[in-house]
Amino acid sequence: MPVHLFIGGLVAAGFDPSGRFLLTVSHAGRGVFDTATWKRVAREPELAYPDHGHAVGIGPIAGMSIPVVERYDTPNLEFVGPDGSLFYYESGTLYVTPPDA
């Protein structure tokens, strides 16, 4: 079943090496979502934009350098997750479509 994550101002997103956590970077800070439940498990309002395609994790992935897909100069962001899920961001919503949907 598709999932909708409401993330205003998303600029980048990426997964930890295990694929269990999704790190999001926005103009309002960083968030971490558990990919098993899609619940947000950490939030940091301090701005910390990606540097050379990597962002610093928080919460359960604190301090980890996470490779991210960045969204600059385009209104949308599209990427594929480690399990084959499709991710599409537009107008404040990150749409997640599982590979079996």
pTM for the whole thing?
0.94
For 22-70, write each residue's pLDDT tens digit.
Answer: 999 999 999 999 999 999 999 999 999 999 999 999 999 999 999 999 9
Give residues with Cβ within 8 angstroms of 85, minimum separation 6.
96, 97, 98, 99
Q: In this model, does residue 73 exceed pLDDT 80?
A: no
CA distance 68 to 65: 9
Per domain, the residue ranges of the chain are 3-97
